[in-house]
Structure 1
Amino acid sequence: MIKTQLKAPFRADQVGSLLRPENLKKAKKDYTEGKITAEQLREIELQEIKQIVDKQVEVGLQAVTEGEFGRDWWHSTFMEHLLGAEGYVPNHGYDFAHQETDPYDVRLVDKVAYNPNHPFFSQAKDLVDIVGNRAVVKFTIPSPNQFFHPDIINGQYKDFDAFAPDIIEAYRQTIKTFYQIGVRYLQLDDVYLAVIATSDFSPEEKKYRAELAVRVVNSILEDKPEDLTVTTHICRGNYRSDYFFAGGYDDIAPIIFANEKVDGFFLEYDDERSGSFEALKYIPEGGPRVVLGLVTSKTGKLEDNEAIKARVQEASKYIPIEQLCISPQCGFASTHHGNILTEEEQWAKLEFIVKTAKEIWE
């Protein structure tokens, strides 16, 4: 029998974000309206983070997050605090499959650079202190590839190739600081790879963008400590239970899966939008682990245990089962709005993943 892994990614894992409790939502609103200070808001955030850490440990997760409680958006809250970047309100939000998001985005106003006072560092330190030795601290940040959009570059660089060295250096220093704080499990959330995979770019353009994406990630990991696990989550959009992209991984798999030097890939496989498992054949044997996102975070309905096991067996036709793990396909609240399910349903799903993983691998 295959025993539970002691190193991340774990057999039963999670993407990162969790539903914000009502107490936290109220505190955020009070802060926005000037009724409480930033310090008072953080105190409430920490109270809620302590409770969700306890709950994650209770359901049996080996990787524990802070639920992304200290941010409003999974990506922009990090991106806007790098030097040279700013958050702003555009005329329109993103057009998801069934709705438009609240308008908020990030753009460069100068050359991008590492920020030694980035607020995520203190948030990570708080999480490390709260978790202690009870579990492995997992912290999530957007991939550097999230910056590769003309609207974000905002004319500060002549092209993507000119921009790449600066974002690489900013992330290399950022990763080093997270490691010094005590983070040993870092996830790069990457919607840009889904853009490449599902767009109508020409084959030549897809190849250029995918190779650049690999080069950027591999470059930020060149001096990664051996005991730091870094994974990539390829996300198709997650906003109030809606999605942005549809399509498989086939167009990027030969480049991304075969060459990106991360320790694992979190891949969305919760519905027909995901494509087939055949793309997994490009994952090198003995290389990155693949965390199959077979359990949806978009609804509260609990999946069928036997169906999930069957899906894992199906995936193992293309990659050894020793390299497989399971998780939700995405977070439960990639933005502060959260997906449309209850906290009880969220915890039931995470507990279900732990139980199912034990039945498969132990």
Structure 2
Amino acid sequence: MTPRTEPPFRADHVGSLLRPKRLLDARAARADGRIDAAELRAAEDEAIREVVRMQEDIGLQSATDGEFRRTSWHMDFIYQLQGVHRTDEQITVHFRNEQGDLDFESAALKVDGKVGLDEPIFGADFEFLRSVVTTATPKLTIPSPSMVHYRGGPAAIDKTVYPDEDQFWADLSAAYARQVQGIAALGCTYLQLDDTSLAYLNDPAQRAQFAAMGADAEHQHELYIRQINAALADRPVGLRITTHLCRGNFRSAWTAEGGYDFVAEALFGQLDVDGFFLEYDDARSGGFEPLRFVPPDKYVVLGLVTTKRPQLESKDELKRRIDEAAKYIPLEQLCLSGQCGFSSTVEGNALTIDDEIAKLRLIVETAHEVWG
């Protein structure tokens, strides 16, 4: 089996990692005014150095900063786009897990100005990550353009600014194109677009909710794919781009359910990325049949190892499921990862850092035994 020397790698991970207690304490101290921004940044720097060493020591070929400087995986980015602002309204997202229901609340967003971008978001953060890796490829994770729209739907776009929604999409894709170019100029060769919308739209209940917001839920995924492609159209040579499809990840809970069947043909056949990180940790993710639409030049990273529970999967079960997926896509096009991040929000999922390390090590060892 051919070794992977460019992303995605045979053993990979989505990006977010559990924050150590001392970093959480530093964030709390900053919120209370007991330390200043420079002191918090220093605490983040040290925690990132340590988590990068952990990833490299385990044998991962990619390393992220764990998203340690963020409160959430997407809003810290989105609010830095010109023309996008918080509102006083609170959005409640309903999550659930085996223990019951829980809600995630966050400020709503409003597109009340022309969307734009002057310099790459998270540019300084990526430069620091790049400076501390030694053997791994530094990966930057950002929310996809779809997330700016899916969070509030058409109603979040001020009609006095954008009477024509097509112009909003043109400006948003142009801003993302500048982000892609800018981050590549800083030396990024591995960029991941995280996207819940393209996974949520597989769920009929989610499509019904989105239609109620005034969107064309039956064809929204096709629009999102076109707009992501517009943002990536002039990406630099040498920049590998993946996307991660998530059905929700907050304190070990999820929002949407259902396989990839609804979006699969358009998603795999049309989205101009190099690889897809797909959740496949339990029955709510559906079967592997949609992988038959993946073209021969793209890779699928099977998220078979759950990041929502501490129980460690068996290698035999992981290998069995990889063999099952290989009935629909060649084994050469497959890789292995966790099903999502370990800490999409600062609170993190219900497992320990030791559990996290054990799962990452399991991914590396299983990938080595399967692909060599």
CA distance in 2, matches of 1:347, 1:19: 10
CA distance in 1, matches of 2:123, 2:309: 32
| Alpha-carbon shift at residue 217 of structure 1 (Å) | 1.2
Q: Which runs of 4+ in 1 moved over 6 A?
A: none
Aligned to 1:216: 227
| Alpha-carbon shift at residue 320 of structure 1 (Å) | 0.6
User: Aligned pair in 2 of structure 1 residues 264, 32: CA closer, same or farther (>3 Å)?
Assistant: same
Alignment check: 8 A CA contact 1:84 1:108 kept: yes
Alignment check: 8 A CA contact 2:90 2:105 kept: no
Query: Residue by residue, what CA displacement relative to the aligned partner does 1:279-310 show, whole Å, maximum 9, x if unpaired?
Result: 0011112x210000000000111001100001
Question: Mapping of 1:174-189 within 5 angstroms?
Answer: 174-189=179-194
CA distance in 2, matches of 1:163, 1:176: 20
- Over the matched positions of the two proteins, sequence identity in percent amounts to 42
Deviation larger for 122-131 or 146-155: 146-155
Question: Mapping of 1:275-286 within 5 angstroms?
Answer: 275-285=286-296
Query: Residue by residue, what CA displacement relative to the aligned partner does 1:266-289 show, whole Å, maximum 9, x if unpaired?
Result: 00000011001000011112x210
| Alpha-carbon shift at residue 161 of structure 1 (Å) | 2.7
TM-score by length of 1: 0.95
| Alpha-carbon shift at residue 344 of structure 1 (Å) | 0.2
Question: Mapping of 1:159-198 within 5 angstroms?
Answer: 160-198=165-203
Out of 140, 147, 154, which is 1:150 matched to? 154
Alignment check: 8 A CA contact 1:4 1:358 kept: no
| Alpha-carbon shift at residue 51 of structure 1 (Å) | 0.2
Alignment check: 8 A CA contact 2:11 2:336 kept: yes
The structure with the greater share of residues assigned to strand is 2
Alignment check: 8 A CA contact 1:147 1:153 kept: no
Alignment check: 8 A CA contact 1:11 1:324 kept: yes
5+ long unaligned stretches in structure 2: none
Alignment check: 8 A CA contact 1:89 1:103 kept: no
Give the letter for the 1:108 counterpart. Answer: V
5+ long unaligned stretches in structure 1: none
Give the letter for the 1:121 counterpart. Answer: G
Aligned to 2:47: 48
Out of 327, 335, 342, which is 1:317 matched to? 327
| Alpha-carbon shift at residue 196 of structure 1 (Å) | 1.9
Q: How many residues align?
A: 358
| Alpha-carbon shift at residue 234 of structure 1 (Å) | 0.6
CA distance in 2, matches of 1:310, 1:340: 26
Aligned to 2:119: 116
Aligned to 1:268: 279
Out of 321, 343, 356, which is 2:366 matched to? 356
Aligned to 2:337: 327
CA distance in 1, matches of 2:219, 2:166: 10
Aligned to 2:305: 295
CA distance in 2, matches of 1:216, 1:277: 26
CA RMSD of aligned residues (A): 1.7
| Alpha-carbon shift at residue 39 of structure 1 (Å) | 0.9
